[in-house]
Chains A and B, each alone.
Chain A
């Protein structure tokens, strides 16, 4: 069994609760043991790196030092924003001068000995696809899915070192493996408007609106994403987007772990479909019952 330190991220305790619970459930089902990092703190998210890079790296490095104290060298997080901060901090601390500045802000110095990967990367690179396929009890056949990765899970490639930076396929491959019809989605790494939902809603309405429009164009029944902020912009703000753009989008936006969990037959309570704002029942209803799928 693969054992790996787990960094849930702040949104996992609030706005993306269902991402956290479904991530834990699918990892357990696929024999990936997630060990919570004790007393983890916020990575600083976008605000920290727009103020100062040493401050931002220190907020991440406190968590990397916590992983080191567990005697582990590999960590994982479901959130691409946390991932970017943790990986960027490590990348920058390869410079000893920068590392000293970071450690000067910390109580416990960070040795910079932890490699952090997204949960998606762990599943794509460390779990045998045949094992996943063998555990599928409800194939996703019948549903058309647009896989949306968000902008920063794969970029910049020198730092993220995962999949392709313009045309990532990890989520597409996973969904296809589960039996879903994956439609080509040309905007899979375009930005949704990121954290501007609150200070500049107009920007998010426009950029996320473009994504919803593209998903409709390619005939998707649903969007599947790996990022809490993308999910919130596309799902929670879909009504605002409709008002702003005079549109009538009704496209459910799942976390990929929710659909993976569905296919693996995990208890619905852990998948949290009821937490989604755009009603997913119509889309889920397109999935053929197992006997028909045979």
Chain B
């Protein structure tokens, strides 16, 4: 068990999570409903309700460094079942945004996958699955990811070799460009 002195709470962190998620985290009374329904708890370092408590008590480092915020599947079970109508999945999302912005990536392969996916969308306007896999394997160094599945998908013509570029791909690229200029306040 960790002991934390509440006098050390980073209230600025709590306020930022609340402002960015438009949620009032003070109303969480730790009933544990979110954790009970979360299918990912087995893979987490902190359960969802623990993350909520860490946010309430302003423990910025612990939240931004944890694995759980990278492993949340956004399945909306916690949000749907919260008796106080807190959008818990949204808070998990916001904590991941903040972790990214501050340079944390505790589950690196998850971050690399998301980056590879968005890079594919920025380049082609649509997700190009084969290119995305190649980019992911190169960047993560995990070159054998799913090679066992390759014969199945290729045999069934499920993985086109060419991307499907769209006319508006420059419009899509400009969305990313403007977003980067605007930073987190885009």
Q: State whether A275 touches B158 (Cβ < 8 A).
A: yes
Nearest chain A residue, comparing its CB with the CB of B130? A14
Q: State whether B118 touches A48 (Cβ < 8 A).
A: yes
A236 partner, pick from B125, B140, B149, beta carbons under 8 A? B149
A104 partner, pick from B75, B113, B148, B178, beta carbons under 8 A? B178
Q: A58-B175, A152-B76 are in contact. Are A199 and B100 (CB under 8 A)?
A: no
- Cα distance, A192 to B175, chains bound together (Å): 31
CB 8 Å contact bits of A183-204 with B (1 = contact, 0 = none) = 0000001110111111111110
Q: Which residues of B contact A101 (CB under 8 A)?
A: 182, 185-186
B28 contacts partner chain A, Cβ-Cβ < 8 Å: no
Q: State whether A51 touches B166 (Cβ < 8 A).
A: no
Q: State whether A194 touches B75 (Cβ < 8 A).
A: yes
Interface centre among B93, B107, B158 (most CB of A within 10 A): B158
Q: State whether B87 touches A156 (Cβ < 8 A).
A: yes
- Cα distance, A275 to B157, chains bound together (Å): 8
- Cα distance, A240 to B152, chains bound together (Å): 12
B160 contacts partner chain A, Cβ-Cβ < 8 Å: yes
Q: Which residues of A contact B73 (CB under 8 A)?
A: 151, 191, 193-196
B149 partner, pick from A49, A105, A107, A237, beta carbons under 8 A? A237
A267 contacts partner chain B, Cβ-Cβ < 8 Å: no
A44 contacts partner chain B, Cβ-Cβ < 8 Å: yes
Q: State whether B158 touches A200 (Cβ < 8 A).
A: no
- Cα distance, A152 to B145, chains bound together (Å): 26
Which positions in A face B, CB cutoff 8 Å?
A: 10-11, 13-15, 17, 39-42, 44-55, 58-59, 62, 101, 104-108, 151-152, 155-157, 165-166, 189-191, 193-203, 206-207, 236-237, 239-240, 274-275, 277
- Sample (27) of A-B pairs whose CB atoms are under 8 Å apart: A11-B129, A14-B159, A39-B167, A41-B125, A41-B126, A41-B166, A41-B171, A42-B172, A44-B118, A49-B93, A53-B97, A101-B186, A104-B178, A105-B174, A105-B179, A106-B171, A107-B174, A108-B171, A152-B74, A156-B79, A196-B71, A197-B146, A199-B110, A203-B71, A240-B149, A274-B156, A275-B156
With A42-B125, A55-B176, A189-B77 already in contact, 11 other A-B pairs whose C-beta atoms are closer than 8 Å:
A13-B160, A17-B158, A39-B166, A50-B114, A104-B186, A107-B174, A190-B39, A195-B113, A200-B43, A207-B39, A236-B153
